[in-house]
Structure 1
């Protein structure tokens, strides 16, 4: 239940692939680097210790500008249904604060799953909107990647 005044983000996406496939895309560094970040961004490196209490660090390179880092700690790792972690920028904007991201996966049928993303609480509506745009673009790229035919 959300309290009045809390700034939270909630997104749902239907993706091609069962939970086990999607979970690997969310957690394996080389797979994550293929789709992570807003349009035009690249991910030069992903460091991850995938276990409760383990840390992660994602290098993000915008189309123009300096490389920056997203860091945090895993809270829950329940393959392939649930992943929760803290989310903060290594050098935060004054309007930023650490948030918690929770990703839940549910198989819909033999070939598709639903991903539900919840993140919060944000310090300002502007930062929540920025994250909504970034996640929407990232999840769009993930959806395209999962829908693409496999190369043999």
Structure 2
């Protein structure tokens, strides 16, 4: 007889980065912040980064092609393809520097309501543990992921305040 442990870690644990944040806005509003480039351009990326978008189609199979401009003047080409959209609960995407990038990774964003707030959990799964370790060390992926969710929290709270007036 084979037993399955309910508390066993997923097989991808050694290839994951998970960051989360409680955001002071309704689930629908937080989800909406991902649906239009006008929203994303106001908050996407770590502190000091801005974006320039070349293409944006928010639907399953759609692509967001953009460049992140770092505070030191370095440009980082980015490519995202939305693979699953379940409003207002989940977004799954592939993220790389360009289409067919061998270092493309999957991100799953879950939006869970808690009264008038929303818990966002961003789980990124890399093809290898070595790639995950490299982005953590070289690109400070954990801290920058937390900064990105912090910018989302500030933006969503601002939009929520304006909507309550």
Same fold flag (TM > 0.5): yes
Contact residue 68 and residue 90 of structure 1 kept, 8 A: no
- Are residues 1:66 and 2:68 paired? no
Q: 1:102 to 1:5 in 2, by over 3 A?
A: closer
Structure 1 position 46, deviation (Å): 5.7
- Are residues 1:116 and 2:121 paired? yes
Contact residue 16 and residue 132 of structure 2 kept, 8 A: no
1:98 paired residue number: 104
Instruction: State the distance in 2 between where 1:54 and 1:4 align.
Output: 26
1:150 paired residue number: 162
Instruction: State the distance in 1 between where 2:98 and 2:12 align.
Output: 29
Q: How many residues align?
A: 149
Structure 1 position 64, deviation (Å): 2.0
Contact residue 30 and residue 46 of structure 1 kept, 8 A: no
Unpaired segments of 5 or more residues in structure 2? 1-8
Unpaired segments of 5 or more residues in structure 1? none
Instruction: State the distance in 2 between where 1:25 and 1:5 align.
Output: 28
- Segments of 4+ in structure 1 off by > 6 A? none
RMSD of aligned residue pairs (Cα, Å): 2.5
Instruction: State the distance in 1 between where 2:88 and 2:12 align.
Output: 32
Q: 1:54 to 1:4 in 2, by over 3 A?
A: closer
Instruction: State the distance in 2 between where 1:140 and 1:6 align.
Output: 25
Instruction: State the distance in 2 between where 1:80 and 1:5 align.
Output: 26
Contact residue 17 and residue 124 of structure 2 kept, 8 A: yes
Q: 1:108 to 1:40 in 2, by over 3 A?
A: same
